[in-house]
A = this chain, B = another copy of it.
Amino acid sequence: MPADIAGAIAALSHLEIDRKPASVKAKSRDFFWYSPVLKARMDHLQADFVVSPRSEAEVIEVLKVCYAHDVPVTTRGAGTGNYGQAMPLAGGCVLHMRHMAAVKEVHPGRVIVEPGCLLKDLDAHCKAHSGQEIRMFSSTWATATIGGFIAGGSGGVGSCRWGALRDLGNIIRLRVVTMEEQPRVLEFRGEELPRVSHAYGTNGIITEIEMPLAPAYDWVEMFVAFKDFMAAVEYARDLTDEAGILIKLATPIQAPIAHDYFQRVKPYVAPGDNLVALMVAPHSMDGFLTFHARRDGRIIYRSDDNDWAKNPGPVFEYGWNHTTLRALKVDPAITYLQVRFAGDDMLEKIRKVSAIFGDEVLQHLEAMKEGGRTMFASLPLIRFTTEARLDEIVHIHEDLGCMVFNPHRYTLEEGGRQTVDDRQLAFKRQADPKGLLNPGKMIAWDDPDWGYDRMYAYPGMTAAE
């Protein structure tokens, strides 16, 4: 059935609805443009209207009405996702969660919060309440929502201690509304969580979140400079391996990234300086400085003690996908990849990749815990030339045994492990029988026999004018 947009809008007219083309366009976009591949395909996309519910009851109403009128619904937190995750491929309704931002309860070790709460507001609330903060956050902490982080993110600042969002224990409970004739409200825990976490809102709308908390400290933020990149990598790995030194970030960044792209850092580094960005708990500084003194690095910045003319801001805003952002601002021809380096030979693989690509692929790694080991999530900067060369770079990585999560794809499968997540697919069958939630993002739903030999193109995508 074709979408009855006018009918849906009429039925929802008592809610906060935005139909102004310019602002609807703005709220139909995310950071997809980091990828030249996605930029070429998604720039024209635009919803028909935006609705901003104020309660779970209003979410239910929106889903019910849109179901009845066959209108696609794409949920939006803050739209800081990178793969067009929050972009309405088939138009329809953008469900904007910004008004559902209340922190409901804080307890020792956990918080209950609405999805539209900004990560930074959540942390501020928990810190003021009882000296707590969330275990990990995406580097878009200042602008992103907790709901978007869970539905679209993977991990971030804190993952060097706590692992990824998907790891057991890093989400406690999700409350979810389905898109059926009569939407249901479900509560998920344990094995049920992966149904909707990192599912891009394709099979349910998260209306309440229970997350674990860790103690909030006045983290000491630092940059440590190294002449040799592999020395920086070993430093970050070994520091992450020190169980007694509490850290929240360990980010090796290859030269000349800091010099070329980090404007406020540039005066303090040479082109050949590799950096490690760090966040260390204040009471771990003694242990950290002892560790540090055994190594070659040079601390060039300490947030608690420096004479820099201009404050560089939070060091985590030089890590994770902020590294890419800073490079892009200086050189729009830059894009990035997402690569996993793990296992006993992980340093060897990093060394090989660096040797193969030289300046075409500059390394930027994030220390994480995975299966009890320290590994690196890499978000290397790529000097983009053609889509074909980008694909080649992906394949060279894969041939070396490195898993690539391709950020130049808008589907869950292609941005992940290129396989169907059966739990998400099965739950979509129940929760979104008409396939109206964020359509085009789950290949398994549209085309179960898809072979992944080329980039998937959602047939229902609104055509460019």
> How long is the Cα–Cα vector from A191 to B245 in the complex, in angstroms?
14
Binding-face segment, A32-40, A116-124, A236-244, A332-340: A236-244
Q: A131 at the A/B interface (Cβ < 8 Å)?
A: yes
Interface residues of A in 97-133 (CB under 8 A from B): 107-110, 130-131
Q: A298 at the A/B interface (Cβ < 8 Å)?
A: no
Q: A15 at the A/B interface (Cβ < 8 Å)?
A: no
The reply to whether A283 and B109 form a contact with Cβ atoms under 8 Å apart is yes
Q: A282 at the A/B interface (Cβ < 8 Å)?
A: yes
The reply to whether B242 and A167 form a contact with Cβ atoms under 8 Å apart is yes
**Residues of B with C-beta under 8 A to A286:** 169, 172-173, 189-190
Nearest-CB distance from A197 to chain B (Å)?
12
Instruction: Using known A-B contacts A109-B281, A245-B169, determine if residue A191 contacts B373 with beta carbons closer than 8 Å.
Output: no
Instruction: Find A162's partner among B135, B173, B240, B244 (CB 8 Å cutoff).
Output: B244
**Residues of B with C-beta under 8 A to A241:** 371-373
Pick from A107, A169, A237, A282 the residue with the most CB of B within 10 Å. A169
Binding-face segment, A20-28, A209-217, A345-353, A438-446: A209-217
Q: A356 at the A/B interface (Cβ < 8 Å)?
A: no
Q: A374 at the A/B interface (Cβ < 8 Å)?
A: yes
> How long is the Cα–Cα vector from A386 to B217 in the complex, in angstroms?
54
Instruction: Find A169's partner among B170, B214, B287 (CB 8 Å cutoff).
Output: B287
* B-contact 0/1 string along A275-295, CB 8 Å cutoff: 000000111101111110100
Q: A173-B286, A373-B373 known; 15 other A-B pairs, CB under 8 Å?
A: A108-B217, A108-B218, A109-B284, A110-B283, A135-B244, A162-B243, A162-B244, A168-B244, A168-B288, A168-B290, A169-B244, A169-B287, A191-B290, A243-B369, A243-B370
Name A residues whose Cβ lies closer than 8 Å to a Cβ of B.
Answer: 107-110, 130-131, 135, 161-163, 167-170, 172-173, 189-191, 212-215, 217-218, 237-238, 240-246, 281-284, 286-291, 293, 369-374
